[in-house]
Amino acid sequence: METSKDLDLFRRQMAKKHRVTCLSNSDLLKIYHENLPKKSGKGRPSLFALERLLIKRPMRSLSGVVNVSVLTKPYPCPGKCIFCPTQKNIPKSYLAKEPAVQRAILNKFDPYQQVWTRLLSLKETGHPIDKTEIRIIGGTWSYYPKKYQEWFIAECFRACNEFGGRKITNYELRITNLRKEQNKNERAKCRVVSLAVETRPDYINTQEIKWMRELGITKVELGVQTVDDKILNLNQRGHGVQEIIEATRLLKNAGFKVSYQMMPNLYGSTLKKDLAVFKEIFTNPDFKPDFLKIYPLALVKNTQLYNLYQQGKFKPYSEKELTKLLIEIKKIIPRWIRVERIIRDIPSNEIVEGGSKILNLRAMVVTQMNKQGVTCQCIRCREVGARYDPKEKLYLFRENYTASGGQEIFLTFENKEHTKLLGLLRLRLHNQEGGNLLPENSGAIVRELHVFGQMTQITHGGKTSINSNQHKGLGKKLITEAEKIAKKFGYKKIAVISAIGARPYYRKLGYKLQNTYMVKSLN
């Protein structure tokens, strides 16, 4: 099967066989996965060809999970940043015309509706939705009332648990129990395998970390912007570099994956200063984030910075300058950082003249780097994606580095040339208590386990896809290696900051739930 004509023929054959008028793309994939053999035959296309033709925007599930962004309701923000826009009835720092915001407005900022709508969209475009990363966005999460936070996340879980069944949106019926929905999600069709929130560094403390774990959060995006105290002060961030350092340390010790949101072109900065800031967070042990979102400053109206621009006191980087800066940053990114984004989805008509309006900035940067013969070594640029070859030999690599007062051990399965990354594990070794959350003698904690490639369904009858390296034992091998390393260092236990939906996987490997972590004895 190579053309749309072949696909139409296959669709008619299956519709006739199953005695229905028409089958959607997701229906065809389900039929193939459940009933057809892996080998091609007459009227039976190869899995690779079928998925290639049926899935729209395949990148959405090529990292092994699908991402669902959910926006909180408009709520006051404690920050007074001069670059943040403020629009009526929209969470601060967001704009009404951004895609994720438009989905939230359409669903009246209802978390259940937002999750359900997004899952339906993914399913109808051919993507499996078994492994879902929920990303909660909108202002400063830690500033929202605790009752609202608990309800919001419980509703996200409930939407995943009920998806595909009867949709209940009547508020009178929605007295949601968080713990109950979390327990249900361990057996649900759509499991939450990562739960992320974005917040400010100065709102991270031991109590906040404990609360986040009770909610099921596994990843925190910190609005860092820069690690230059003078520039932070000029932009009225309300905190300094020390708060960033402390927040990073506390989060890593408790096992969280840490993402930095960085903003080149802040008021008072320069191209030279911005490059120096990125070099600092890559090399200084006080920082070293696991993930990175580069959001170049977008100059928009309704901000204090726009007033400075009108007075001639601020000038945005040109597109040429910004592209050159991003290339220099990508040249020096360590192999253990994943650059998730390098541009925000802000519509170009919202950006003031003089600011960069390129929405496909990442693609342009990659094109320029290819012309220069240089490559980025970040995790995302090395992910295997659709390039999986089951015959290619894999190698286990290990890289050690010091960060935030602990030892980080970065394990990967890659090809010999380091151009295809198939799986990774982050193991942290430290002697601190991790916010009094980790069980005694378990200073060894797995902060991340991820197998890349086209997502393979969890509830798939044990079958694996010839087009994906998921469910082929790489995760188990990485965990086994991490256990060996922890035992060698003298640790009696090892913990995993498992997402709710991933708990059954770790139970199969001998782990038990303890204090919101999955824990295993190494004796």
Instruction: Answer for the pair 115, 15: CB distance below 8 angstroms, yes or no.
Output: no
User: What is residue 70's three-state secondary structure?
Assistant: strand
Chain-centre distance for alpha carbon 463: 26
Classify burial at 236, counting beta carbons within 10 Å of its beta carbon; exposed 0-12, middle 13-18, buried 19 or more: middle
Q: What is residue 311's three-state secondary structure?
A: coil
pLDDT of the chain, 523 residues: tens digit per residue = 456 676 777 778 777 777 777 777 667 766 665 654 444 444 444 545 565 566 667 667 777 889 999 999 999 888 899 998 888 888 888 888 888 899 999 999 999 999 999 999 888 787 888 999 999 998 899 999 999 999 999 999 999 999 977 676 665 456 679 999 999 999 999 999 999 999 999 999 999 999 999 999 999 999 999 999 999 999 999 999 999 999 999 999 999 999 999 999 999 999 999 999 999 999 999 999 999 999 999 888 888 999 999 999 999 998 899 999 999 999 999 999 999 998 887 777 777 765 667 778 888 899 999 999 999 999 999 999 888 888 899 999 999 999 999 999 999 999 999 999 999 999 999 865 444 566 655 679 999 999 998 777 775 444 556 667 777 889 999 999 999 999 999 999 999 999 999 999 999 999 999 989 999 999 8
Beta-strand relationship, 338-341 and 512-514: unpaired
What does the pLDDT read at residue 108? 93
Residues paired with residue 66 on neighbouring β-strands, in sequence order = 132
- d(CA 491, CA 522) in angstroms, rounded, equals 7
Dig out the tokens for 416 from the structure.
């010999």
SS3 content of the chain, % helix, strand, coil (to 5): 40, 20, 45
Please give the helix or strand (H or E) that residue 444 lies within, else none: strand 444-451
Distant-in-sequence, close-in-space partners of 282: CB < 8 Å, separation ≥ 6: 288, 332, 333, 334, 337
Type of residue found at 387: R
- The closest alpha carbon to 149, from 73, 262, 207, belongs to 73
Q: What is the largest CA-CA distance in the chain?
A: 70
pLDDT reported for residue 139: 80
Q: Is 50 left (phi over 0), alpha (psi -120 to 50) or beta?
A: alpha
Instruction: Return residue ranges of the chain for CATH 3.40.630.30.
Output: 395-521
Q: How far apart are CA 119 and CA 156, in angstroms?
A: 11
Position 71 scores a pLDDT of 96
CATH number assigned to the domain covering 203-380 = 3.20.20.70
- The packing angle between helices 111-124 and 146-162, to 10°, is 30
Q: Which residues belong to CATH 3.20.20.70 in the chain?
A: 203-380
CB atoms closer than 10 angstroms to residue 82: 17
CATH class of 395-521: alpha beta
350 CB neighbour count, 10 Å cutoff: 19
Q: What is the DSSP letter of 74?
A: P
Q: What is the DSSP letter of 349?
A: G
Q: Give the integer Cα–Cα distance in Å for 51 and 457.
A: 13
pLDDT for the residue numbered 164: 77
